[in-house]
Amino acid sequence: MPDPSETREPAASYPKADEPLARPEPWSHPWHDQLGLRYHQAIAEKVRRQPALLEIARENLRRWSAAEPDVTLSQARREWQRILDAGDVADIIHLITDPTEEGHRRRQSTPFAGILTPEERRAIRDQLL
């Protein structure tokens, strides 16, 4: 039986898809989680307009794998590789903007770095402050 101190409760900060996002305390873990979701919502909008931007995520995965050729790909990288290889833009957009804890888990290992400009990231962050 697991130690009660190790029991993991569902995160309360993850709303259902049709619920509005609450404003968490700036710089807290929930705030960073929401920031990641908002970044990915902005990424999704750019990808919707320019699906070729998905090549940035694919190249990130290739580069990360090449940097550690003797290391077995993590489960997260394998998952992103499968998602990106499937290539369905609508599915990818749905997965990266999933507001649930499962979506948050995926965003923790996102390969979408480089799609938003520093100015876009700053504007999104400033909206949450």
Q: How far is the C-alpha of 78 from the C-alpha of 62, rounded, in Å?
A: 11
pLDDT, one tens digit per residue, over 51-109 is 999 999 999 999 988 887 777 778 888 999 999 999 799 999 999 999 999 999 999 99
Q: What is the pTM of this model?
A: 0.77
pLDDT, one tens digit per residue, over 67-79 is 877 777 788 889 9
Cβ atoms within 10 Å, residue 100: 14
